[in-house]
Copies of this chain bind each other. A is one copy, B any other.
Amino acid sequence: MPNVKITRRLHFSAAHRLARPDWSEARNQRTFGDCANPNWHGHNYELDVTVSGPPDPGSGYVMDLKELKALVEREVVADLDHRNLNLDVPWLEGVLPSTENLVMRIWDRLAPHVPPPAALDKLVLWETPRHWVEYSGPDG
Protein backbone atom coordinates (compact mmCIF):
# COMPACT_ATOMS: atom_id res chain seq x y z
CA MET A 1 0.00 0.00 0.00
CA PRO A 2 1.44 3.43 -0.88
CA ASN A 3 1.47 6.27 1.65
CA VAL A 4 -1.38 8.75 1.90
CA LYS A 5 -1.31 11.84 4.11
CA ILE A 6 -4.32 12.88 6.18
CA THR A 7 -4.71 16.21 7.93
CA ARG A 8 -7.00 17.44 10.69
CA ARG A 9 -7.30 21.12 11.55
CA LEU A 10 -7.89 22.18 15.17
CA HIS A 11 -7.92 25.59 16.79
CA PHE A 12 -7.11 27.30 20.06
CA SER A 13 -7.13 30.89 21.29
CA ALA A 14 -4.30 32.03 23.52
CA ALA A 15 -2.46 35.05 24.89
CA HIS A 16 1.29 35.45 24.66
CA ARG A 17 4.14 37.94 24.68
CA LEU A 18 7.50 37.89 22.93
CA ALA A 19 10.12 39.01 25.45
CA ARG A 20 13.10 37.33 27.08
CA PRO A 21 13.52 37.62 30.86
CA ASP A 22 17.29 37.67 30.34
CA TRP A 23 17.06 40.76 28.09
CA SER A 24 16.31 44.34 29.12
CA GLU A 25 12.85 45.70 28.38
CA ALA A 26 14.44 48.11 25.90
CA ARG A 27 16.09 45.26 23.99
CA ASN A 28 12.85 43.28 23.98
CA GLN A 29 10.96 46.27 22.57
CA ARG A 30 13.65 46.82 19.94
CA THR A 31 13.62 43.18 18.87
CA PHE A 32 9.96 42.27 19.14
CA GLY A 33 8.18 45.61 18.71
CA ASP A 34 4.54 45.55 19.81
CA CYS A 35 4.73 41.75 20.23
CA ALA A 36 6.59 42.61 23.45
CA ASN A 37 3.65 44.53 24.96
CA PRO A 38 4.02 43.81 28.74
CA ASN A 39 0.25 43.30 29.11
CA TRP A 40 0.16 40.57 26.46
CA HIS A 41 -1.79 40.22 23.24
CA GLY A 42 -3.32 37.11 21.66
CA HIS A 43 -4.33 35.11 18.62
CA ASN A 44 -6.72 32.54 17.23
CA TYR A 45 -4.33 29.77 16.27
CA GLU A 46 -5.16 27.07 13.74
CA LEU A 47 -3.13 23.86 13.89
CA ASP A 48 -3.03 21.44 10.91
CA VAL A 49 -1.75 18.02 11.95
CA THR A 50 -0.66 15.76 9.08
CA VAL A 51 -0.09 12.04 9.56
CA SER A 52 1.36 9.84 6.82
CA GLY A 53 1.11 6.11 6.27
CA PRO A 54 -0.47 3.31 4.26
CA PRO A 55 -4.28 3.09 4.46
CA ASP A 56 -5.35 0.09 6.55
CA PRO A 57 -6.68 -2.65 4.22
CA GLY A 58 -9.69 -3.16 6.51
CA SER A 59 -10.84 0.33 7.47
CA GLY A 60 -9.32 2.25 4.55
CA TYR A 61 -7.94 4.67 7.16
CA VAL A 62 -4.35 5.89 7.58
CA MET A 63 -5.50 6.70 11.11
CA ASP A 64 -8.97 7.10 12.60
CA LEU A 65 -9.64 10.86 12.48
CA LYS A 66 -11.60 10.71 15.72
CA GLU A 67 -8.51 9.27 17.44
CA LEU A 68 -6.27 11.86 15.82
CA LYS A 69 -8.55 14.67 16.97
CA ALA A 70 -8.73 13.23 20.50
CA LEU A 71 -4.94 12.91 20.63
CA VAL A 72 -4.34 16.54 19.61
CA GLU A 73 -7.01 17.81 21.99
CA ARG A 74 -5.54 15.86 24.91
CA GLU A 75 -1.86 16.59 24.30
CA VAL A 76 -2.04 20.14 22.91
CA VAL A 77 -5.37 21.97 22.78
CA ALA A 78 -6.43 21.20 26.36
CA ASP A 79 -3.25 22.90 27.61
CA LEU A 80 -3.19 25.88 25.23
CA ASP A 81 -6.79 26.93 24.57
CA HIS A 82 -7.85 30.03 26.50
CA ARG A 83 -4.44 30.06 28.18
CA ASN A 84 -1.35 32.26 28.38
CA LEU A 85 1.51 30.60 26.51
CA ASN A 86 4.15 32.28 28.67
CA LEU A 87 2.58 31.52 32.06
CA ASP A 88 0.13 28.64 32.01
CA VAL A 89 1.74 25.71 30.17
CA PRO A 90 4.19 23.40 31.97
CA TRP A 91 5.72 22.07 28.75
CA LEU A 92 6.42 25.61 27.50
CA GLU A 93 8.30 26.72 30.63
CA GLY A 94 11.40 28.66 29.67
CA VAL A 95 10.35 28.72 26.00
CA LEU A 96 10.01 32.06 24.23
CA PRO A 97 6.62 31.49 22.53
CA SER A 98 7.46 32.53 18.97
CA THR A 99 5.40 30.57 16.46
CA GLU A 100 8.58 28.74 15.43
CA ASN A 101 9.40 27.60 18.97
CA LEU A 102 5.77 26.71 19.61
CA VAL A 103 5.44 24.42 16.59
CA MET A 104 8.59 22.49 17.56
CA ARG A 105 7.27 21.85 21.08
CA ILE A 106 3.90 20.73 19.72
CA TRP A 107 5.73 18.24 17.48
CA ASP A 108 7.44 16.74 20.53
CA ARG A 109 4.07 16.38 22.25
CA LEU A 110 2.41 14.60 19.34
CA ALA A 111 5.02 12.51 17.54
CA PRO A 112 5.36 9.73 20.15
CA HIS A 113 1.60 9.10 20.19
CA VAL A 114 0.88 8.45 16.51
CA PRO A 115 0.32 4.69 16.17
CA PRO A 116 2.63 2.94 13.62
CA PRO A 117 2.77 2.28 10.74
CA ALA A 118 1.42 5.87 10.58
CA ALA A 119 3.79 8.65 11.60
CA LEU A 120 3.55 12.37 12.22
CA ASP A 121 4.49 14.02 8.93
CA LYS A 122 4.01 17.78 9.22
CA LEU A 123 2.53 20.51 11.41
CA VAL A 124 1.28 23.83 10.11
CA LEU A 125 0.56 26.43 12.78
CA TRP A 126 -1.32 29.57 11.71
CA GLU A 127 -0.91 32.62 13.94
CA THR A 128 -3.08 34.69 11.60
CA PRO A 129 -4.64 33.91 8.20
CA ARG A 130 -1.64 35.72 6.63
CA HIS A 131 1.24 34.25 8.67
CA TRP A 132 2.02 30.62 9.48
CA VAL A 133 4.88 28.21 10.19
CA GLU A 134 5.52 24.66 9.06
CA TYR A 135 7.59 21.94 10.70
CA SER A 136 8.38 18.38 9.68
CA GLY A 137 10.39 17.31 12.71
CA PRO A 138 14.08 17.38 13.60
CA ASP A 139 14.94 15.22 10.57
CA GLY A 140 12.38 16.77 8.22
Quick check: is A110 within 8 A (CB to CB) of the other chain? Answer: no
Using a CB–CB cutoff of 8 Å, the interface residues on chain A facing chain B are: 2-11, 13-16, 18, 20, 31-35, 37, 39-44, 50, 55, 58-62, 65-66, 81-84, 87-88, 96-101, 103-104, 128-135, 137-140
For chain A, what secondary structure do more than half of its interface residues adopt (helix, strand, loop), or is it mixed? mixed
- Whether A4 contacts B100 in the complex (CB less than 8 A), given A20-B58, A42-B14, comes out as yes
Count of chain copies? 6
Is there an interface contact between B7 and A132, defined as CB atoms closer than 8 Å?
Answer: yes
Is there an interface contact between B55 and A42, defined as CB atoms closer than 8 Å?
Answer: no
28 A–B pairs (Cβ distance < 8 Å), ordered by A: A2-B104, A2-B138, A2-B140, A4-B100, A4-B135, A6-B99, A6-B100, A8-B130, A8-B131, A10-B130, A14-B42, A15-B40, A15-B41, A18-B60, A31-B59, A33-B66, A34-B81, A37-B82, A37-B84, A39-B88, A41-B42, A41-B82, A44-B44, A44-B128, A55-B98, A59-B98, A60-B97, A60-B101
